Amino acid sequence: MVKDSAKFKMWGRWTATFIGFPLAGVAARLVAGNIDAASAAAIGGLVGGATLGAVQAVIGALAPEDRVRWIGATAVGFAAGLAAGAATVGYRTDTASLVAMGAISGAAVGLAQAVSIPMRRLDRIGWAVATPALWAGGWLITSQVIVDAERQHAMFGSSGALAVSALAGVLYALRRRTVPAVVLVATSSDRAAA
């Protein structure tokens, strides 16, 4: 019962990180404007990714020693993913283009995040595979309610963000932090010495 309560709390915290997505979009727009060129996508992705990563690290309660790596990975992943995704769709804003851009951006972010902090191999794979699907879904949901897609936003909005964060929260709550091998070796050496 206590374990289920802790997992529910972790899921709730991660779901609350949805606010990071619209904040990332606002930050990207303030710095880069419309995502209509490779430079705007890379700069907007870097700033937006750092914003999103920081919100996820703090609200999602990542271990303090993992936060800087998570933020950096999210920033670099989103910069590369948004630049590649936006260019791939020719900076178009129809629903299919936004979904494709989301999948490409999500793939880069998911992979970068998955290798940035200690996780079990299965959790890494799950995160890296789920993130592109979730981000594509985030854009699909947002594209149905957004009224100004032609402004070439860097990030999907709150409607998509809530769904993405709630679903990613399930993976987050189920993941297990791995213990680095150095700690395991030191622990077994200490036991042997005792």
pLDDT of res. 140? 96
Q: Which residue has the tokens 């590649």?
A: 84
Instruction: Evaluate if pTM is beyond 0.75.
Output: yes
pLDDT of res. 189? 43
Averaged pLDDT for residues 85-92: 98
pLDDT tens, residue by residue, 62-79: 999 999 999 999 999 999
For residue 70, what are its two tokens? 């998570």
The domain tally of the chain equals: 1
Q: Which residue has the tokens 């957004």?
A: 146
pLDDT tens, residue by residue, 4-52: 788 888 889 999 999 999 999 999 999 999 999 999 999 999 999 999 9
Q: Print the domain residue range for 153.
A: 2-193
